[in-house]
Amino acid sequence: MNIKLNAPVSAAIAIGVGIVVLAGYFIPSINNIRFIFLRTGLVLAAVALLVGIINLLSVHFKKMGAETENSGYSLILVITLILTLIIGTIDMVQTYLVGQPNFQMSNWIFKNIQLPIETSLLAVTAVSLTYAAASILRKRMDLFSITFFFVILLVLLGSFSIPPATLPLLHVVRDWIVRVPALGGARGLLLGIALGTITTGIRILMGTDRPYGG
């Protein structure tokens, strides 16, 4: 007879740890146990990052072999990942030998390669957001979309601080929109999200949703 034990065991561990961590928020006497579990979770998450990097490499190795139009990007990713890993390791060895933090080469990569690239991408995001806002009426011509579009327009116009484009009335309207309907709407959405979060957590504590152990 083939009895599978890993699913019930993993479910029992997950539910047990979840209940203790949740109870730790309300019962001060078991707070220490909660912190032990949380710290263990953080260490496991760090190990998962290593596993994830291996997964990332394997995914892009497969894409490189597929001869698609994006295979070149995968090749660049694999090369830069390996280079960064080697440079990071050299930095760590130097730090160990010198006896004080010495991450010059890694810092150079972050300052001169990653930071400019991410900043450029952020600039592209601004263009992409403008495009998305402008195209909403093409996608859905309903009351909510029209309202959304005109509110964006009003808030943008009200945010101008260059003197010729500054309109005091629009400033007042913008402030009112941000303080009253936008804040109220955001609170409403947050309440809904909080309720959804609680039910998701309870379903996991009940073992109904089990994103672990099959």
Partner 1 sequence: MSATGFTGIVVIVLFFGLIIFFSIINKEPEQKNIRPIPAYDKIIQEINIAVEDGTQLHISLGRGGITGPESASALAGLSILKQVIEKSSVCDFPPIASTGNAVISILAQDTILGTSKAISVADQGRNPSGELVGVTPFSYAAGTLSTIRDDKVSANIHTGWFGSEVTWITTAGERQSTPTIAGTAQLPAQAIIYASASDPLIGEELYAGGAYLGAGKIHLASISAQDIFRWIIIVVILGGVILNFLGIDSLVESILAGSM
Distance of alpha carbon 80 from alpha carbon 74, whole angstroms: 10
Q: Among 45-53, 83-91, 97-105, 167-175, which window interacts with partner 1 (CB under 8 A)?
A: 45-53
Binding partner 1 (rule: CB under 8 A), the pick from 34, 63, 64, 91 is 63
106 three-state secondary structure: helix
Around 55, how many Cα atoms within 13 Å sit in the side-chain half-sphere?
6
Binding partner 1 (rule: CB under 8 A), the pick from 67, 96, 101, 131 is 131
Pattern of binders to partner 1 over 162-191, x per CB under 8 A? Answer: ------------------------x-xxxx
Cβ distance to partner 1 smaller for residue 80 or 166: 80
Least distance between partner 1 and beta carbon 173 (Å) = 19
Binding partner 1 (rule: CB under 8 A), the pick from 123, 132, 146, 167 is 132
Amino acid at 96: Y
Distance of alpha carbon 40 from alpha carbon 63, whole angstroms: 34
Distance of alpha carbon 63 from alpha carbon 85, whole angstroms: 21
CA nearest neighbour of 60 among 42, 45, 78, 84: 78
Q: Restricting to residues 77-106, which ones interact with partner 1 according to CB under 8 A? A: none
# of chain residues touching partner 1 (CB under 8 A): 63
